[in-house]
Structure 1
Amino acid sequence: MLTEPANAYARRLNTWDAAMIVIGGVIGAGIFLTPATVARSTSSGAEVLMLWVIGGLLTLAGVLCYAELGARRPQAGGIYVYLREAFGLLPGFLFGWTMALINYPGSVAAVATMFADYLCTALGLPSQVYVKPVAVGAIVFIVGINLFGIRAGAWMQNIFTVLKLIAVTLLVVAGLVLAHGQPGPALATDTLHPVSSWAFAGALLPVLFTYGGFHYLNDLAGEVRNPQRTLPRALGMGMVGVVVCYVLVNYAYLAGLGHAGLAASTAPAADLMRGLFGDAGATVIAVGIACSTFGYCSIAIAGGARVLQTMGADGVFFRAAGRVDARTRAPQIALALLGGWAAVLTYSGSFNQLLNYTTVGEWLGHVFGIGTLFWYRKHFIDQPAPYRVPFYPLLPLIFVITVFGVIVASAIHAPGDAGMSLLIIALGVPVYYGWQHWVRRHPVG
């Protein structure tokens, strides 16, 4: 049967919890590092801020589409569910195969390693000795908390999202203090970094990637109270909050370091805090980044496990993974499998290449996921919709066309990674049919 049990999950997430998931899923480590990459592809502070505003508006268009999709199908699984219903089980499986088995655990492994690195730096521990054990320990701890249910996971997530927002606030304050109330230098043209219009357009790629992660709440939609009302509100509130944070942080970088200083930096957050507070400031922001990355791992594990659980319930993954514990209402086996695989990737050190290989697959998932909105509007034209995307079909078309352009640009920039991403997706086809054959020969019960 292609639907999860009606009462498998308990709806325990309120609007605040859901908005914190959106913020925590987007703000990871990117905003503390990516702005330097963007600055190197631009020639002024005004261009940097313009890119972050454009990226934020494009992402908001996608978020509004996800709000309608989540309100229409408020159940666990997110994009996998929309693709399965609109295009069939095979397309849904190919997304789940790429994301839940490779991208989600790969991103957890990568960000957990980053968390451990920043934590070791803050504590003065030798990274080469402690990073992998600390990263695996963080993954095990997060899985352990989530085994007790979404309420325990949300409690932990809320704490770490507030901590990362405090870190963002510190950066903004530091930048404004260092600017001495002079906004002009932050927006000035940097004559040392003239760039072409193509480079400026290409800088939108890392901006959009840094805005990624807004879809995790849809993975957890089966546990949101009054989802038709809460999902659109939380997605909108959370994403607007992220855009404001990102623009303010970039202004702070430019105000405190200048465009040339930002472009030359390899760790802009640490450089900005060091400029005001010395080495103690760099240590403080290292702790803040550690909190931010830890919070992201918590959301990725929780969301990815729900995709695995839904696939298991559909019979395209291990049936045991499709179970939801009757007492905690948590997909405990799916959580353990995802966390275990992420821990293996962490120790093997192979996650970075896997992430490079699956980036195109992830964004193709967004393109086709938003594309299902047109299918829902056509096939359920008379069905009352609790929330509808404004300016339809303009907003979903803008998002789909822009993101597809980003995918093409990414493929041109790194054709090897894009080719491997498509190959991984294609390998899912024989796996799907082989699994279906095995299931037919070994029926349950």
Structure 2
Amino acid sequence: MENPGYARRLTLFDAALIVVGGIIGGGIFLNPGIAAQRTSSGLVLLGLWVGAGLLTLVGCLCYSELGARRPQAGGSYVYLREAFGELAGFLFGWTMLLVIYSGSAAAVATIFGTYATSVFGLPANLVKPLAVGALVFVTGINLFGIKLGARIQNVFAILKLAAIAVLVVTGLAFAGAGTTQAFSSSPMPPGAGGIAGALLPVLFAFSGFSYLNNLAGEVRDPQRTLPRALVLGMLVVIAAYVLTNYAYLAVLGHDGLAASSAPAADVMSRVFGDAGAKVIAIGIAISTLGFCNITLVAGARVLQVMGEDGLFFASVARLHPVHRTPNIALGALSGWAILLVLAANYGQLLDFATFGDWAAYAVTIATLFWYRRHVKERPSFVTPAYPLLPLVFMATVVAVVVAYAWSKPLSAAVVCGVVLAGLPVYAVWRRLFSKLAR
């Protein structure tokens, strides 16, 4: 039986909130403390967040053109396969399944478990079971159609923005006495590895801006809607992130932020006591659920398209005949993410997912040059200041990834090993098992 095809049910409002929900997970509530440990002042820290936001905005502009050119499910996988060949597409999908999307969902689900145990005073050994439960929950939501999933995703996104608004207002209204010191200028610690080490947790918090492109086959009027949603959603995220970090610094100071493992909870606790900490912890838990939701939904679309192309099992290509959702692909990705939750800790998942994610962004944006050269029709949106902006994005990301690999060779080696392992898997699949996909 032929697939019924995806239904285009996502509006501009839905799409913009998918961008917001795909970026804002748990990183903004946890990673500022890690970044503060690796910087020397509040000004440097804020500069990193602004710079990472602008860099990600450039990435959104590039992905806007790619989405306008190929408004179909699959996102980066489709662009890489078409521009650089089937092997490139397979390696992206392989790495996405094993490390990037699954690792991101597992890492943020772990944050959910951490905050949930904190709110309800549960023992620490329940963090992983709660993380697994979160992944099962968001998977179940999306078995019944994109519109229902989008409505729940919209609720998650609005609630997480409300939590950030409460945090920002609290920080601005109750700034600490050390605010001036927190924003005093001081040089960045020397060494490219130090810069990369500070920037990587910041970049992790901005990861996920490309998820909407994976869902392009379900967006109404995608040539117009995709670029608008990507830019609008990204501007909202930049504003939210910069203001949140300002609030952290205003209440805790730079040294206090560097010493904090849960800065959002510490800010609210300092102002409102335990009740404030629990309120923001609930907001964070909701935020992480929204991120896990969109990560798994977006990744499942990649696996589904790979199945259609014969690069994965035929079963994952099937769409539910009524809900028109790739339920088998969704279950496969969720199942692997659950295994990662059980096998690794948050720090490992953070490093693996971020390293792989941003390396994939740089390679995917390189496809713009292929499209500009080989596909002559002009899309509804073109990247401004081409080729300067794509080149700046690629060069910056490559520099950060290389510097971080130098400072954390084991994490980089694991991700590179996963990618390289995909080469023999692809060869064996094509030679012996491709008939399983037919």
Normalised to the residue count of structure 1, the TM-score between the two structures is 0.92
Q: Does 1:419 align with 2:413?
A: yes
Corresponding residue for 2:167? 171
Contact 2:26 2:288 in 1 (8 A): yes
Alignment of 1:377-392 (within 5 A): 377-381=372-376, 383-392=377-386
Q: Structure 2: how far apart are the matches of 1:208 and 1:399?
A: 13
Q: Does 1:158 align with 2:154?
A: yes
Q: Structure 2: how far apart are the matches of 1:42 and 1:319?
A: 49
Corresponding residue for 1:286? 281
Alignment of 1:77-96 (within 5 A): 77-96=74-93
Q: What is the percent sequence identity of the aligned residues?
A: 56
Q: Does 1:140 align with 2:136?
A: yes
Q: Structure 2: how far apart are the matches of 1:182 and 1:271?
A: 16
Contact 2:91 2:419 in 1 (8 A): yes
Corresponding residue for 2:330? 335
Q: Structure 1: how far apart are the matches of 2:237 and 2:28?
A: 10
- CA RMSD, aligned part only? 2.2
In the alignment, structure 2 segments of 5+ residues that lack a partner are none
Helix, strand or coil for the counterpart of 1:9? Answer: coil
* The one of 105, 108, 124 aligned to 1:108: 105
Contact 2:91 2:423 in 1 (8 A): yes
Alignment of 1:395-410 (within 5 A): 395-410=389-404
Report the AA paired with residue 196 of structure 1.
P
1:347: how far off?
3.4
Alignment of 1:40-55 (within 5 A): 40-55=37-52
Q: Structure 2: how far apart are the matches of 1:164 and 1:92?
A: 33
Corresponding residue for 2:221? 226
Residue deviations 1:181-221 (CA, integer Å, cap 9, x gap): 9964552247xx98437545652232222211101111111
Give the paired residue count.
436
Q: Does 1:15 align with 2:12?
A: yes
Residue deviations 1:225-276 (CA, integer Å, cap 9, x gap): 1000000000000000000001101111111111222122222111111111
The more displaced of 370-379 and 134-143 is: 134-143
Q: Structure 2: how far apart are the matches of 1:119 and 1:188?
A: 36
Residue deviations 1:270-306 (CA, integer Å, cap 9, x gap): 1111111011111111111101111100011101100
Q: Structure 2: how far apart are the matches of 1:201 and 1:108?
A: 23
Contact 1:63 1:214 in 2 (8 A): yes
Residue deviations 1:279-334 (CA, integer Å, cap 9, x gap): 11111111111011111000111011001101111111110101112211100111
Report the AA paired with residue 40 of structure 1.
Q
In the alignment, structure 1 segments of 5+ residues that lack a partner are none
1:364: how far off?
2.1
Normalised to the residue count of structure 2, the TM-score between the two structures is 0.94
The 1:57/1:341 distance shift into structure 2, 3 A limit, reads same
Corresponding residue for 1:304? 299
1:42: how far off?
2.6
The 1:27/1:194 distance shift into structure 2, 3 A limit, reads closer
Corresponding residue for 1:117? 114
